[in-house]
A and B are shown apart, each in its own frame.
Chain A
Amino acid sequence: MELTKEEQSALNGEKGDILQTAYRILVATGEATNAEKLIPVNWAHLSGVNYNTIGDSGEEFLRTISQEAKVKVKTTVNPMGFDFDHISEFDHIDDDFIQKQKSIRNSYIRMGVEATFSCTPYDIFDLPEKNSQVSFAESNAAIFANSLGGLKTNKESAFSALASAITGKSPYSDLRKDDITSPMTIRMKMDNPNELDFGMLGFFAGKIGDTSVNISGVSQPNRRSCKALCGGMGTSGTCAKFQFVETEDEKSEKIDFGKEEMDEIYDELNTTEKGDLITLGSPQLGLEELSDLSKMLKGKSFQKRCLIFCSRAVQEQARSLDFTNEIEKAGGEILSDCCTCLTPLINTNETDAVTTNSIKGAYYLKNSTRVDVNLKPLSKIIEDETK
């Protein structure tokens, strides 16, 4: 990889330890993605905020570097473990977790990030102009940016995005170039797919796709389904981009996604027929989804606890537009700054099984939180779980 004199001197440690580490990460990831140089980015989105995911060593690392490191470009951050405003409603969260989570939050704020605590930055901000180079670590956000947002990013890691935030640069990898082609087309064979089906399509595509895939047989999915597709895809593989195509490229390899493929994923992630808690929001819900939910819940009431995750910015908008009233009347608990994935709000002492419509959520509930999962589309959740 070709570095400028300035970049080389930072890599050699002439501009301090922090920049040296940041450039070491950029060079390693540049080598990994066949980049020939570094280019400027104008927005970084960081993962690695939840104490449950980064642990003591992550907390200590951030505390140390935040004494000196400052972000150089607009930087947003992923969800934390919980919502500080509602922590008293979950009495099993221990004090050590709360203190460590506070420390992580403070370290990021000290570095100058915008305190979004959201996995859906695309739901909060207007996106920059088309073809802008950004550096998004959260996998669903990177896939959304590349596939639906008109932006360009690698499927960054927590550290490569942090290095981008601190230097304002990222490797010029294949995904950032204009002529990227998709050697594979996935043919959607299911009629009238709901968001759960789209999540499974994403999970399937992520498993078999390399960097980018085409998807045919899909017509204008709504935002809920698009986000489910991005979330599912980001969970299972390395694929960082999809494009909906109407005509199939003759040269590309074609793979069908039909009932058999879908059943296989359903059986992998659905481990029980009944949950004792419901979660909605992985990725966090946007304004449109909260508006929909509010309409669907009118006059209904949940028969068990239902946690609804959205970003704080979206929650504030939803409150001012009064989308939250019906949801809360139905017993839904709206939480911000956290999401289904790896939140300590859900643990095996309190919960045996969770009902959700999120494939991404299901994967981490099953493998990290280690509870059973009952997968259903939102319409079915409301039909079965409310009165």
Chain B
Amino acid sequence: MSKIIVQGVAQGKVLKTTNPINFLGAVDKKTGVVHDKKYDIFEKSIKDIILVFPYGIGSSVGAYTIYSLKSNHSAPIAMICKKADLTVASGCALANIPMIIVSNEEFDTIQDGNEITIDTKSEKIFN
């Protein structure tokens, strides 16, 4: 864990994508389903999982998408990125979704589908 952006604890299944995410353009804010075919997680839901992706891209309104996902009970329970961007950081800060930044090596070791726990207090990811 190289940096904590939003504190918290979360335990759940990993959904991992290698695509940077444009929340406004690619994610349905009501259901949490990814509806852009360009993504390797196309048609998957980001609801109630630990979302692992490189970083957020595109519209600044993506922060509202993250907040809406949370209000609609369709948000990830935590987010793990390689690089922090303002849209995801501020969206998670307002929606109170734990968010951390990890190194490239650590990012590569996180496996899609695994159950993991993150705890920003102990600064650890447990498998």
Residues of chain A contacted by B63 (CB below 8 angstroms)? 48, 157-160
Q: Is A132 an interface residue (CB 8 A)?
A: no
Closest Cβ neighbor of B57 among chain A residues: A237
Q: Is the CB–CB distance between B67 and A368 below 8 Å?
A: no
**Which of A53-61, A255-263, A287-295, A307-315 is found at the contact surface with chain B?**
A53-61
Partner of A160, one of B70, B83, B86: B86
Partner of A47, one of B22, B59, B91: B59
Residues of chain B contacted by A24 (CB below 8 angstroms)? 93-94
**Which of B9-17, B24-32, B43-51 is found at the contact surface with chain A?**
B24-32
Interface residues of B in 98-118 (CB under 8 A from A): 99, 101
Q: Is A216 an interface residue (CB 8 A)?
A: no
Partner of A28, one of B61, B68, B92: B92
Give the bracket for the number of chain B residues in contact with chain A.
35 or more
Residues of chain B contacted by A176 (CB below 8 angstroms)? none
Q: Which of B64, B70, B86 has the most CB of A within 10 A?
A: B86
- Closest chain-B Cβ to A107's Cβ sits at a distance in Å of 13
**Which of A29-37, A94-102, A296-304 is found at the contact surface with chain B?**
A29-37
Interface of B is mostly: mixed
- Closest chain-B Cβ to A144's Cβ sits at a distance in Å of 14
Q: Which of B6, B36, B38, B68 has the most CB of A within 10 A?
A: B68
- Closest chain-A Cβ to B123's Cβ sits at a distance in Å of 14
Q: Which of B30, B36, B67, B93 has the most CB of A within 10 A?
A: B93
Q: Is the CB–CB distance between B61 and A32 below 8 Å?
A: no
Q: Is the CB–CB distance between B84 and A157 below 8 Å?
A: no
A130 vs B70: C-alpha distance when bound (angstroms): 40
Residues 212-252 of A, flagged 1 when their CB comes within 8 A of B and 0 if not, give 00000000000000000000001111100000000000000
Closest Cβ neighbor of B71 among chain A residues: A57
Interface residues of A in 140-160 (CB under 8 A from B): 142, 154-160
Q: From known contacts A55-B68, A368-B25, infer whether A31 and B4 are also in contact, taking CB-CB under 8 Å.
A: yes
- Closest chain-B Cβ to A129's Cβ sits at a distance in Å of 25
Q: Is B62 an interface residue (CB 8 A)?
A: yes
A21 vs B95: C-alpha distance when bound (angstroms): 10
Q: Is B40 an interface residue (CB 8 A)?
A: no
Q: Is the CB–CB distance between B57 and A32 below 8 Å?
A: no
Q: Is the CB–CB distance between B60 and A32 below 8 Å?
A: no
Closest Cβ neighbor of B93 among chain A residues: A28
A159 vs B94: C-alpha distance when bound (angstroms): 8
Q: Is the CB–CB distance between A154 and B86 below 8 Å?
A: yes
Q: Is the CB–CB distance between A236 and B67 below 8 Å?
A: no
Q: Is the CB–CB distance between B68 and A32 below 8 Å?
A: no
Partner of A157, one of B20, B55, B62: B62
Q: Is A161 an interface residue (CB 8 A)?
A: yes
Q: Is B80 an interface residue (CB 8 A)?
A: no
Q: Is the CB–CB distance between A367 and B25 below 8 Å?
A: yes
- Closest chain-A Cβ to B3's Cβ sits at a distance in Å of 6
Q: Is the CB–CB distance between B61 and A158 below 8 Å?
A: yes
Q: Is A25 an interface residue (CB 8 A)?
A: yes
20 contacts between A and B (CB under 8 A): A21-B94, A25-B90, A32-B101, A48-B63, A53-B24, A53-B59, A53-B61, A55-B29, A58-B67, A138-B60, A154-B86, A157-B91, A158-B60, A159-B63, A159-B64, A159-B90, A160-B89, A364-B24, A367-B25, A367-B26
